[in-house]
Amino acid sequence: MEVGQTTAASTSNANAASKNLASNFDDFLTLLTTQLTNQDPLNPTDSTEFTNQLVNFTNVEQSIATNQNLEALVQLQQISQQNSQAATMVNYLGKTVGTNLNVGALSSGNASWNIDLGSSAATATYDIYDKNGIKVYTETTDGAPSGKQTFTWDGTKSNGAAAGDGEYYLTVTAESAGGSVVNVSHNFKGVATSIETVNGEPVLNVGGVKVSLDYITSVEITDEPSA
């Protein structure tokens, strides 16, 4: 089992503000010292004004310290939540996990998507996108039956080049003979083999596709091979 770990960000807005405050405070002390040195002895500046300025700086410093503590608390809560999700995902390993995402895994020149058309379609257009949202393939058919079916792709892009293995997304635009939009749903299933962290979120590796807990729609016990 492979479980990714998440680390807290090395920088934050509060830390940056703290560094700026330290620099500004040095400048403030320099100006304050200069003001005290050059003030009119016969009409000195009210000491209350100096005190108020120091108090203002102290209040800002305390506010920044509070923000730093809050940021640290949020990071700890995020890490705790991620660890909790990863612990839950452990129970899914080795099981068949289903999702309604329109995602499929291309491997060795083959990818397939399980789709379900609400009614028969006079025309259906199948567009395939890579994980960066770039369309790599499109195909239009004169008709498609209603019900559950599988769309397969050999990994050949529209320009004739071979697509690399990985995740791809299928969108189906179907219309009836009367021009009405046909509802299309998706269903992907695969065996959960590992857990990893992607962009700070734990995900299951399901048949070559990364699925988070929010998108899991079913979990089934995988039949063990007979001895």
Can you tell me the distance from the alpha carbon of 204 to that of 206, in angstroms, rounded to the nearest whole number? 6
Residue pointed to by tokens 């379609």: 121
Q: What is the mean pLDDT of residues 106-117?
A: 93
Token duo for residue 10: 């090395």
* SS3 category, 33: helix
Where in the chain are the domains? 13-90, 96-220
DSSP track, 94-130: TSEEEE--SEEEEBTTBEEEEEEESS-BSEEEEEEEE
Tens-digit pLDDT profile for residues 152-182:
999 999 999 999 999 999 999 999 998 999 9
For residue 208, count other CB atoms closer than 10 A to its CB.
16
Can you tell me the distance from the alpha carbon of 202 to that of 136, in angstroms, rounded to the nearest whole number? 28
219 pLDDT higher than 50: yes
What is the predicted pLDDT for the residue at 165? 93
17 pLDDT higher than 80: no
Q: What is the mean pLDDT of residues 52-73?
A: 72
Which fold is adopted by the domain 96-220? Immunoglobulin-like (2.60.40)
Distance between terminal CA atoms of the chain?
Answer: 24
Specify the pTM. Answer: 0.59
What is the predicted pLDDT for the residue at 199? 78
Can you tell me the distance from the alpha carbon of 60 to that of 193, in angstroms, rounded to the nearest whole number? 50
% pLDDT > 90, the chain: 36
